[in-house]
Structure 1
Amino acid sequence: MLERYFIRPATIDRIRASWLSGFIEQYVTWLAHEGYAARNVFSRVPILLQFGDFARERGATRVEDLPSHVNTFVQRWTEKHSTRSTTTAARKKVASTARNPVEQMLRLVVPDFCGRRRARWARTPFDGRAGQFFNYLTDERGLRPTSIEHYRHHLGPFEAYLDRIGCADVTAISPPILGAFVVESASYLCATSVRDRCGVLRVFLRYLHRERLIAKDLSGCVEMSRTYRLSGVPRSISWDDVRRMLDAVDRRTPAGRRDYAILILLVTYGLRGREVAALTLDDIDWKRERLRVPERKAGHSTGYPLSSTVGTALLDYLQHGRPKTTERRLFLRVLAPQGPLTQSAISGRVAYYLHRAGIHVPRAGSHTLRHTCVQVAAPQSAF
């Protein structure tokens, strides 16, 4: 794979002389498979070679030793290459130039390495401290994986808070501790997120009491913050606004063709962002002009007639916008790594075009178009 990018034999020999050569070549193969441009290989391989030499000089002999040297390497790199950086943002950009390829390679070759990726709670919160809570959520309550992640998201900060105040055992949890944590959470979360966090805490505390890990049921000590269901209404937009939003999409680009197809799907069928993200190539029946939507909220699938507008948008994306890949998910990232779009990415694209079209709506996202489909009858000339 190195010969694909580097012409000079001396350059290839220098790379393969590194003790990390096998891992670097594995990383280069991954970059090519994920659709990264050649310039990424040219810029990242030299950094990895320097990181290998840096770690070896400090005693690293196995790939498992490398994570402990990442922060020091990034710090030295930043000190050396940020002499002309006058702002904090510029220095952070220099640091990310070194950190990103190193951590990306380590996630590929070191088991369980996470680094500074967005997944903040890589391990299970309260693992070994709260019995089999997450097994309880899966086996007894039958929650979906996305709901399990919701519990991880909220219990992770709670565990970190307990560790910070020196509360090592769940038996020491008390009403003042719970109240202080909720107040602290309210300082950086919106009202609905605080409500969700309180709900997670109540379930967790009831489980602890059921399993006799705490003496009293403290769930009643966590008051649910008040949120009003209709406080954000109206969340839908008019069909004139829908047309303005669709006109804001530049359909000359692959990303524009993809986003246009996503918007048309959302507003035509009133789908959720998660349902659009779960669509695969196999869900489109061109012969019978049907669209199957899996991963519905109740766990079943639904079939819809494939409208000509949706079919045309999907065909344009598949022929001129979708990357050439064996991935069966319908909507993919345009930039590398070319993986499937997530639910949050779908919602983010909707919010982007609503803002671009100058349409102001509370909590802009995929549900805006779902509400539009449900609440407003589409005219014949909507699209």
Structure 2
Amino acid sequence: MRYSIHDRVAPEGPLSAHIVAFANSIAAQGYCTQSLKYHVRLATGFSRWLGRNGIDLHNVCPAHCEQYLRYRARHARPATGDRAALRHLIAFLDRERLISAQRMPARRLSPIESCTLAYIEYLHEARALSKATIVYYVPFIREFLEHCFDDGRVRLSRLRAGDVVSFVQCQAPRLHLKRAKLMTTALRSFLRYARFRGDMALDLAAAVPVVANWSMQSIPRGIPPEQIQQLLVSIDRRTAVGRRDYAIILLLARLGLRSGEVAFLELEDIDWNTGVLSVRGKSGQRNGLPLPADVGKAIAAYLRYGRPQSTSRRVFLRAKAPITGFRSSCGVGSIVRHSLQRAGINAPTTGAHQFRHALASQMLRHGASLSEIGELLGHHHPQTTKIYTKIDIEALRTLAVPWPGGVQ
């Protein structure tokens, strides 16, 4: 959909020549007609206000948006989307180089934000950690800094073992065991980084308490095959969203991909000629997997009849504007959760990882070796795959014959 003025009153002010281009950029992101008209109406009013105040296009900046919203509030009831719509407009003007870069002030970071940002840069540049790992670590570090420096001033040299212990003791009881262990891992990483930088003399990484855990304490909970089939049948593939969700869940079930691997899959990752899917794992390494016929057919159906027009190279796109790829793996997890709810399926969990566990369990029962399972799932350490051996142990217990004569 492209926007045109037709017989409408021509807009006034310094933005008048760019209103149509702005509207087309909004339409290209998949916003509905009503939202498009709303963006145009606000941009037109803002342009008129700029003209009346003698503000040239080159000098427009975000501060003018706040001034206009205060002016507009005196004449019309403010809407919750006003500020966001003007942010889209400023972003468009900046992208088209219509306003001065010097007029776009960078938001001043707080000390905690600056410290966190430097740590992120270290993880990415020096440690070469994957984006997913960094995303997992950072929230814990931000919470740790807020816990220790509630006044906002970050002074790492003043940290003591008691600060580290009190944070872990406060947070660990609220978290699932795996999350608690991830928190302590992230905390040790940050404290080693701080010492490496020379911000602290003490080795506080050694002071991080160990979260109690028994090796392979629980059996992986995989969704049963009959529930997978019930879930796939329940999806309405006559709709664009249904075609997308069906292809995503089929990928999870047939190839055991992680939710992030599905979310960040790109069009170039599918070799239709050889039937190979290239997947970027947690460590950033590529893993070529054979593309099953039914999975390829489902993806092709979505690409041809369900995927919105977009410049994004991601295979799977959001269904609502802005039409882009998923921001994180949470988008895939949300699709799984809502699909299970709509189908009325009481699965072991509501997450995407249960399909991965189900595939590994099924392969093991059909005679696959642990190395074969680990290769398919992209495991880099045999110990990671070893947890699935517990499934066979539990199965053997059901076949155990009672000792004659009872317990001696």
How does the TM-score come out when normalised to structure 1? 0.76
| Separation (CA, whole Å) in 2 of partners of 1:228 and 1:79 | 65
Per mean C-alpha deviation after superposition, the further-off stretch among 236-245 and 293-302 is 293-302
Letter paired with 1:100: A
Residue 296 of structure 1: aligned partner: 281
Cα distance change of structure 1 residues 19 and 157 upon mapping to structure 2, 3 Å threshold: farther
Residue 118 of structure 1: aligned partner: none
Is residue 30 from structure 1 mapped to residue 16 from structure 2 by the alignment?
Answer: no
How does the TM-score come out when normalised to structure 2? 0.72
For residues 176-223 of structure 1, the C-alpha deviation after alignment (integer angstroms, 9 at most, x for no partner) is 443454455458655543432332222111222233311212223332
Letter paired with 1:295: R
- Compute the displacement of 1:248 (Å): 2.0
Letter paired with 1:209: R
Residue 211 of structure 1: aligned partner: 197
For residues 239-298 of structure 1, the C-alpha deviation after alignment (integer angstroms, 9 at most, x for no partner) is 11011111221111001011111111111111112222233333333333x122231234
| Separation (CA, whole Å) in 2 of partners of 1:73 and 1:135 | 36
CA contact (8 A) 2:265 2:315 kept: yes
User: SS of the residue aligned with 2:61?
Assistant: helix
| Separation (CA, whole Å) in 2 of partners of 1:157 and 1:218 | 17
Cα distance change of structure 1 residues 225 and 45 upon mapping to structure 2, 3 Å threshold: farther
Is residue 319 from structure 1 mapped to residue 319 from structure 2 by the alignment?
Answer: no
CA contact (8 A) 1:179 1:222 kept: yes
How many residues are aligned here? 354
Cα distance change of structure 1 residues 78 and 372 upon mapping to structure 2, 3 Å threshold: farther
Residue 89 of structure 1: aligned partner: none
CA contact (8 A) 1:125 1:152 kept: no
* Structural mapping, 1:1-383, within 5 Å: 4-10=3-9, 13-14=10-11, 17-21=12-16, 24-50=19-45, 62-66=59-63, 69=66, 73=69, 77=73, 81=77, 94-95=79-80, 97-109=81-93, 127=114, 133-165=119-151, 167-182=153-168, 185=171, 190-226=176-212, 233-288=219-274, 290-341=275-326, 342-361=328-347, 363-377=349-363
- Compute the displacement of 1:336 (Å): 2.3
User: SS of the residue aligned with 2:280?
Assistant: coil
Letter paired with 1:32: A
Letter paired with 2:191: L
CA contact (8 A) 1:74 1:99 kept: no
For residues 115-158 of structure 1, the C-alpha deviation after alignment (integer angstroms, 9 at most, x for no partner) is 9xxxxx9999553x599644442343221233333343333333
Matched-pair identity in %: 27
CA contact (8 A) 2:252 2:258 kept: yes
CA contact (8 A) 1:5 1:41 kept: no
Letter paired with 1:41: L
User: SS of the residue aligned with 1:294?
Assistant: strand
| Separation (CA, whole Å) in 2 of partners of 1:355 and 1:107 | 38
Per mean C-alpha deviation after superposition, the further-off stretch among 324-333 and 55-64 is 55-64
Higher alpha-carbon Rg: 2
User: SS of the residue aligned with 1:148?
Assistant: helix
Cα distance change of structure 1 residues 79 and 189 upon mapping to structure 2, 3 Å threshold: farther
| Separation (CA, whole Å) in 1 of partners of 2:286 and 2:211 | 34
CA contact (8 A) 2:231 2:343 kept: yes
Q: Which runs of 5+ in 2 are unaligned?
A: 95-100, 367-408
CA contact (8 A) 2:248 2:262 kept: yes
| Separation (CA, whole Å) in 1 of partners of 2:106 and 2:22 | 16
- Compute the displacement of 1:60 (Å): 7.9
CA contact (8 A) 1:232 1:362 kept: no
Cα distance change of structure 1 residues 65 and 242 upon mapping to structure 2, 3 Å threshold: closer
